[in-house]
Amino acid sequence: MQASKQGISTSEVIKIKENFPALDAKKIDQIHDIVNSNPKAKLHIQMTTKGLSRKQIIIPMGSDNIVKFMKNNSLHVTNINWSLRNLKSEVLVDFIHSDLTEVMVVTNKVVVQLDLCIIKKYVKNVDNIDSLNVEVPQLLQSKSYLKIIGIPYFSYDNSQEHLSSSNVKQIIKQNQIFDNVILTSKLRVIKVSLKSDMSIIWIDIWDVQSGSKAKSLINWCFNVGKHIATIRGTNMNSGVPQCKNCWKWEHTTMSCRIQGSKYVKCNGPHKSKNYRQFGWCCKANEKTNPPHPKTKKGEPCPHVFKCSNCHGNHQADSNLCLFWKHRFNCE
């Protein structure tokens, strides 16, 4: 075995390997530097990812607005493209998709400020949309990962309820240090440990590749009632994505490779809106003995849910799932 770096003897490498067989050469170098007080042994947090394609526009809005908007997403694509062509823009919208907090418009080219204004004006004027709950469209950027510590998990405001993501969202809105911050996903609140009464709040924000927005927030303190909360940086990819198409973990909906889609409750090859028509337990089957009747409209589904991940008796996105409980543990 050769030394992993100049200055580390072969015997030292062998000794570390015997005690920690799972370590790679880079970790061995770090251990050696720390033991020998090497000033270069400072570990840096990788809290900012490289940005994805900038041919995507983020439009943060409330969940009610998202549901109403996505009902006619194909029509919106056509109407937005018509508005862009009228102003002789070379940008065209390919398709629109959404998650829990935002609508994402995917285009054929990177948009300019005029294109953003056209799309913003259209979205705010869509029927049944609460325009006050639609934020300014943004170009897709890098992500930075932060956490907030110092807030109790229970009774932070003298109530008996535990800290929820909606509570934290309200706290953030009341602090001016978050004025120019846009969240990339829903806030996540967990306990520090099973026996602890303190919380850790994970927040993911849109940033530039240098991570300047996150760096400007790190070590800031602010009051939450009588408690002092502190913002810290954390390693990127603190959570594992779950695909909303096949409901498997470790990849996003956009990168799913299966054709069609799976239903979250029974893993059947159909969408949720067509479940009553195609689900084996709800549709009529006269060939069985005795014949299986069709579930009447308005009655609850008699199907026993089967999770496609842990095979438990719940749907694939349930918080009862073992995978869901470990969603912040990539391993």
Higher-confidence residue: 33 or 253? 253
Q: Is residue 198 over pLDDT 80?
A: yes
Which range, of 7-11, 154-158, 282-286, 306-310, averages the lowest pLDDT? Answer: 7-11
Higher-confidence residue: 213 or 29? 213
DSSP state at residue 296: P
| Residue 40: predicted pLDDT | 47
Omega before 293 within 30 of 0, i.e. cis: no
Residue 242 near residue 254 (C-beta atoms within 8 A): no
Q: Please tell me the CATH code under which domain 143-233 is placed.
A: 3.30.70.330
Residue 184 near residue 238 (C-beta atoms within 8 A): no
Three-state secondary structure along 154-197? ECCCCCCCECCHHHHHHHHHCCHHHCCCCECCCCEEEECCCCCC
Domain boundary assignment for the chain: 11-38, 56-139, 143-233, 254-331
Picking from 146, 144, 122, 145, the residue whose alpha carbon sits closest to that of residue 134 is 122
Q: Is residue 148 over pLDDT 50?
A: yes
Average pLDDT over residues 23-41: 62
| Residue 44: predicted pLDDT | 63
Average pLDDT over residues 254-280: 73
E strand map for the chain: 56-60, 93-98, 102-107, 138-139, 142-152, 188-191, 198-207, 221-224, 227-233
H or E, element range at 210: none
Picking from 170, 167, 176, 174, the residue whose alpha carbon sits closest to that of residue 199 is 167
Average pLDDT over residues 97-106: 82
| Residue 62: predicted pLDDT | 83
When mean pLDDT is compared over 117-126, 158-167, 288-297, 303-312, the highest value belongs to: 117-126
Q: What is the pLDDT of residues 36-79, one digit of tens each?
A: 655 444 446 677 766 555 678 888 888 888 888 888 888 999 99
